[in-house]
Structure 1
Amino acid sequence: MSATQTAPAAAAPSPSTVKNSRGRVILASLIGTTIEFYDFYAYATAAVLVFPTLFFPTGDATTALLASFAVFGAAMVARPIGAVVFGHFGDKHGRKATLVASLLTMGIATFIIGLLPTYGQIGWFAALALLVLRLAQGFALGGEWSGAALVATENAPEGKRAWYGTFPQMGAPVGFIIANGLFLLINFLAPSSEWFLEWGWRVPFLFSAVMVIIGLWVRLKLVESSAFEKVTTKGAVRKVPLGTVFRYHWKELILGTFFMLATYVLFYLMTSYTLAWGTKPADVETAQAKADAAGAAFDPAAFYPGGGFAYPDFVTMQIIGVVFFGVFTLLSGPIADAVGRRRLLIWVTAAIIVFGFTFNVFLLPAADPRFAGALAQAFLIFGFTLMGATFGPMGALLPELFPTNVRYTGSAVAYNVSSILGAAVAPFIALALWALVGEPWLVGVYLSAMGVLTLISLLLGKETKDVDYEDAGFTSSAVL
């Protein structure tokens, strides 16, 4: 080469040679699910504390609470629709753009909830607007979890998929602590209960915009995984991923739905149901006195006792329990990588079934009132510990049921159909069973029954920890 010649410029790295750093993978998969669960906890807290009064003033406290929970459940119905739509685009055009779209939809809907006028200002149109925004949240959440799980697991080192799969699962405890910590802070700083009802409850919804901006910044820097690139280069992209799932992977779809069932029921009982129980008066006399002081009607025959804790005290107890949730979510990943997802979940599900039969042990008023708080705290710790152990492995297990070209759609539909069977109806069933017998034991039996269904599905399923995760997903004569 002569002195006048120059060396050829280095070739630009191809997409397949560019890798996402571990920090970027963790943050990108964690931030969206953190916002997802933050939104849920913010709504669940407001659904108990303020929405019955502000959006559903029916004149009856139980009816108003049920109406508030009904709007909550409506979002679950929208989630499978979002799973199909976002799953379709995620399997055809990549995970990155789909995750950005789901995050934007979710963030905008949550922010607008914080700006809504109430029933006192525009009548029942306020409840209708809240319903529409909850449906938008549910639609967005339908594609959020699966995409986050795929970002984590498709970028995981060999033998560490379950551990990486716990990163998006950590959004649940992190979101809980942020949302409820913020509500506690606002409740503490609020100059009056009237101010909290008018303005204070809006702050957590408006604050979600901060996390959405951070999430967008991280996700826009992602590159597609080698697993998805293999699908595109080998021509394995399906025209209609949902059709391929239904035709070739329907067994995995059904099993995946029931794998999540006990997890969802436990999750919503430990959050929304326990909050309703914990802050409900413990005896008729207390409830009657509060009703008289507020000038409200009270029917002793329709009363069913709760824990009788002040809201700040009980939420603090929940946050302590959620710390165990987070710790055992992370611990479950390495264990699932070592012994297998199925084996771990069989044992944890059996423990959930047993836990369901202990509700009256922990939640009935203690003979000595000084022990009531300790029993309730123990209940929350045990329940959230089991929640972490069952929720953690799901970040790897559900995506591992499907090949890469339909993995987004398959895992999203299974996860979100389970949300209807396990989450959308759980608050109603729990509230109805609690009212039916006036004690929480029947709510625990409901949890145990759902645990039995999950245990049967696990026994019928197969271990997935050694599947070929870069299987592009060819199907014989598939045109779908």
Structure 2
Amino acid sequence: MASITDYGSLSSIDHGRELRKAVIAATVGTTIEWYDFFLYGTAAGLVFGKLYFPNSDPTTATLLAFSTYFVGFAARPVGAAIFGHYGDRIGRKATLIATLMIMGIATFLIAFVPSYDSIGIWGGIILTILRAIQGIGVGGEWGGSVLLSMEWSRSGQHNRGFLASWPQWGVPAGLFLSTIVMLGATALSGDQFLNWGWRIPFFLSIALVGIGLWIRLGILETPVFQKLLNDKKIERAPIVEVFKKQPKEILLSALVRLGQQSQFYIFTAFIFAYGVGTLHLSRDFILAAVLVASCVSFVSIPLFGHISDRIGRRNMYLIGTVVCGLFGFLYFGMLDTAVPSAVFIAVVLSLIPHDMMYGPQAALIAEAFTPRLRYSGSSLGYQFASIIAGGPAPLIATALFAAYHTGYAIAIYLALCSVITLIATALMPDYTGKDVSTEYDA
């Protein structure tokens, strides 16, 4: 196997092998981390309000549960800053090993947090702290995983959108795993699930972390980062430098995610509270629908990443933004019928418009930043969206429905997010097909 300093001597066969290993390591790692992250969202919609905020009315308890959920999003930019710094200083591989360990340990410990009945409000406080640690881990994970895949693409190859979409594929894979394990846990009786059954999926996460570490320890550093080392172009303070050099790209990266991320967390987290609490459908029915939706994304995410290599990253993203902005009205129109078949179809279809954006998104954002600042810049831009989009989306949706008693109020909110994203995407640079291995921030 080639050493870390002889990338130039890699044959096409060796390079292809290392590329596959990097893509697999990035995808498996993100799958595990998103399994951990989604478990919390599902549990927040199903049990955390009852276990940790039992003295509140149902709506307030749900809001409080999603508030702890939001903490994980607020912590993501912190993780992006910390691990972005080290990702641009010591490399993509070492940083990704650290993020996986942090995320996995925090998730494992959630399985042991006592409920309100045992230690009062301290249960909610401990839960919130562990959620923040989860968010820090995820905040550093995304940028490194995308770069691990994308930066192994040879200059001149027109497949970066496809390669970078595979870490994105880890999201529906993590959603699938978390949903199917939670579905198995809900097979227990109501009291058993509420008392201890929901803890099993969190406990099992430690085994997945061990698998992810084993895979990531066997990969090489990316050729792009090794070139930075060889050329002595490592920045001492990449976070500071990226704010000086590319502030516009950071802001636009956050805004292009607004329409995508707000929809995703309403479609995959808020739907549990809405479907069970408002539509009075069974939690297993909603879990099954989300499970099927995640399976559809297995195909649609890499498909739209591939299409972006053909028609341009920005063009694909603009199309997806328009479709997403309109789909919210159809989605809530079908949900509000409360007809199980219509609800099931709406949930299953919901991630396709989302994936039209999510597939090309990784390459669109990562390519916008020059190599020596790429981990920091892409991570910060991507994770700042968590504060304005993913984190508050379930909270805003809950508040809007409580105020207006119609899902169309939430659809209007999603449409407004899409309008902002449409403008930001039009201003975003597009590096489809261009060389992104050399510095281009001058």
Report the alpha carbon displacement of residue 474 of structure 1 after superposing the two structures with TM.
Answer: 6.8
Amino acid at match of 1:170: W
Matches within 5 A, 1:239-388: 239-280=236-277, 306-365=278-337, 372-388=339-355
**8 Å Cα contact 2:179/2:290 also seen in 1:** no
Which runs of no fewer than 5 residues in structure 1 stay unpaired? 1-9, 281-305, 367-371, 476-480
**8 Å Cα contact 1:187/1:200 also seen in 2:** yes
1:104 aligns with 2:71: no
Post-superposition CA distance 1:161-190 (Å, at most 9, x none) = 1111111011111111111111111222x2
Which runs of no fewer than 5 residues in structure 2 stay unpaired? none
Partner of 2:32: 35
CA 1:241–1:42: 2 relative to 1, 3 Å: same
Amino acid at match of 2:302: L
Question: Equivalents in 2 of 1:126, 1:212: separation in Å?
Answer: 25
Amino acid at match of 1:307: L
1:193 aligns with 2:190: yes
Report the alpha carbon displacement of residue 457 of structure 1 after superposing the two structures with TM.
Answer: 0.8
Report the alpha carbon displacement of residue 377 of structure 1 after superposing the two structures with TM.
Answer: 2.2
Question: Equivalents in 1 of 2:307, 2:326: separation in Å?
Answer: 22
Provide runs of 4+ in structure 1 moved above 2 Å: 10-23, 356-361, 472-475
Amino acid at match of 1:247: K
1:161 aligns with 2:145: no
Partner of 1:235: 232
Question: Equivalents in 1 of 2:416, 2:225: separation in Å?
Answer: 38
Post-superposition CA distance 1:319-345 (Å, at most 9, x none) = 122222221102112101111110011
1:419 aligns with 2:386: yes
Report the alpha carbon displacement of residue 461 of structure 1 after superposing the two structures with TM.
Answer: 2.1
Question: Equivalents in 1 of 2:62, 2:175: separation in Å?
Answer: 21
Question: Equivalents in 2 of 1:308, 1:207: separation in Å?
Answer: 30
* 3-state SS, counterpart of residue 84 of structure 1: helix
**8 Å Cα contact 1:236/1:473 also seen in 2:** no
Matches within 5 A, 1:23-102: 23-102=20-99
Question: Equivalents in 2 of 1:435, 1:48: separation in Å?
Answer: 16
Post-superposition CA distance 1:296-317 (Å, at most 9, x none) = xxxxxxxxxx222111112111
Partner of 2:18: 21
Partner of 1:436: 403
CA 1:69–1:360: 2 relative to 1, 3 Å: closer
Comparing 76-85 with 16-25, greater Cα deviation is found at 16-25
Question: Equivalents in 2 of 1:179, 1:107: separation in Å?
Answer: 14
1:448 aligns with 2:415: yes
Amino acid at match of 2:212: G
**8 Å Cα contact 1:166/1:333 also seen in 2:** yes
Question: Equivalents in 1 of 2:283, 2:85: separation in Å?
Answer: 42
Amino acid at match of 2:299: V
Question: Equivalents in 1 of 2:267, 2:351: separation in Å?
Answer: 7
Report the alpha carbon displacement of residue 462 of structure 1 after superposing the two structures with TM.
Answer: 2.8
Comparing 13-22 with 108-117, greater Cα deviation is found at 13-22
Partner of 1:291: none
Post-superposition CA distance 1:74-109 (Å, at most 9, x none) = 111111011011000000110111000111000000
Partner of 1:295: none
Please state which structure has a larger fraction of its residues in helix.
2
* 3-state SS, counterpart of residue 280 of structure 2: coil
Task: Give the length in aligned residue pairs.
Answer: 434
Report the alpha carbon displacement of residue 357 of structure 1 after superposing the two structures with TM.
Answer: 2.8
* 3-state SS, counterpart of residue 112 of structure 2: coil
Partner of 1:286: none
**8 Å Cα contact 1:109/1:137 also seen in 2:** yes
Amino acid at match of 1:217: W
Report the alpha carbon displacement of residue 241 of structure 1 after superposing the two structures with TM.
Answer: 0.5
Comparing 321-330 with 69-78, greater Cα deviation is found at 321-330
Q: RMSD across aligned C-alpha pairs, in angstroms?
A: 1.7
Partner of 1:284: none
Comparing 439-448 with 230-239, greater Cα deviation is found at 230-239
Question: Equivalents in 2 of 1:83, 1:13: separation in Å?
Answer: 25
1:457 aligns with 2:424: yes
TM-score, structure 1 length as denominator? 0.87
**8 Å Cα contact 1:325/1:387 also seen in 2:** no
Amino acid at match of 1:149: V
* 3-state SS, counterpart of residue 175 of structure 1: helix
Partner of 1:131: 128
**8 Å Cα contact 1:327/1:388 also seen in 2:** no
* 3-state SS, counterpart of residue 186 of structure 2: helix
TM-score, structure 2 length as denominator? 0.94
Question: Equivalents in 2 of 1:89, 1:13: separation in Å?
Answer: 18
Question: Equivalents in 2 of 1:203, 1:13: separation in Å?
Answer: 40
